[in-house]
Amino acid sequence: MQTLKYEGLQITNGNPKKVNDALVVEAALQININNEPYTVVMRTPGDDFELIRGLLFAEDIYKYKENLTFEVIEKRENGFSIVNVSIPKKLIGKGYLNKRTLLSVSSCGICGKQKLEDISVTGSKLENGFNFNSHKIEAMFSEMKANQETFDLSGGSHAAALFSNNYKLLIVKEDIGRHNAVDKVIGAQLNLNSLNKSNCLLVSGRVSYEIISKAFIAKIPYVIAVSACSTLAVDFAKEFGITLIGFSRGKKATIYASKIVLK
């Protein structure tokens, strides 16, 4: 299961139509070592044993040539899996001491909800407080691009930008990593005590669950991306009350999660 079909609303020159797009699956993989939870990673299901072996090598947990024993403890239709790997204690490297924090999304009950409608959940969703003008998207991305000095010089950086509810550019930051760029703009607004003015988060690449979670924590109700969105990003955008728009290029964009009134 590498992709799933998700319903979206594609806007071309202001004209909306429903589409069914293939989105790359993002789902949680819980890794247990010797029957004890070690970490949860977000991945596209498939080749999980190879992923775990590579991660253990990179994290200095297991660097020996001998193959390991893997056991699938749980595997759900939405892609969530638990895999246990058995490693002799005397062969576990020092990296195991840097135990990663387990993510709460491992028991995601809304994963795989593929319709455009909102999902009914408990808890407080973000409020989309105004009628969003889809014609402003192109202008916002143009303004962000005009401030991407590092990308202009190198072609190798991502960018994130925050805009107010009247489409005013608040800040642009660049980084080699998409998530880092998002952290930078949120951190900068926190330092200015102005995060509450942020209404739209623009990103220069694709959107995964982690970016949606950052937007939710920062109470930013709109996330707009140049590129694709993962399945988990769409699922959680619906749960969190975030309007999520992908493939925003020129006069085209696709809405995957929304309460907005198009103008």
Q: Which residues are catalytic?
A: 108
Q: Which two tokens stand for residue 82?
A: 């638990």
Beta bridge partners of 67: none
Compute the distance between CA of residue 34 and CA of residue 36 in angstroms, rounded to an integer.
Answer: 6
For residue 67, which of 85, 79, 84, 55 has the smallest C-alpha distance? 85
What CA–CA distances, in Å, run from 131 to 167, 170, 221, 238, 247?
Answer: 12, 20, 12, 18, 20
> Would you call 134 helix, strand, or coil by DSSP?
coil
Residues within the annotated binding site?
247-252
13 contact partners, CB below 8 Å, separation of at least 6: 251
Phi, psi of 108 (to 5 degrees): -45, 120
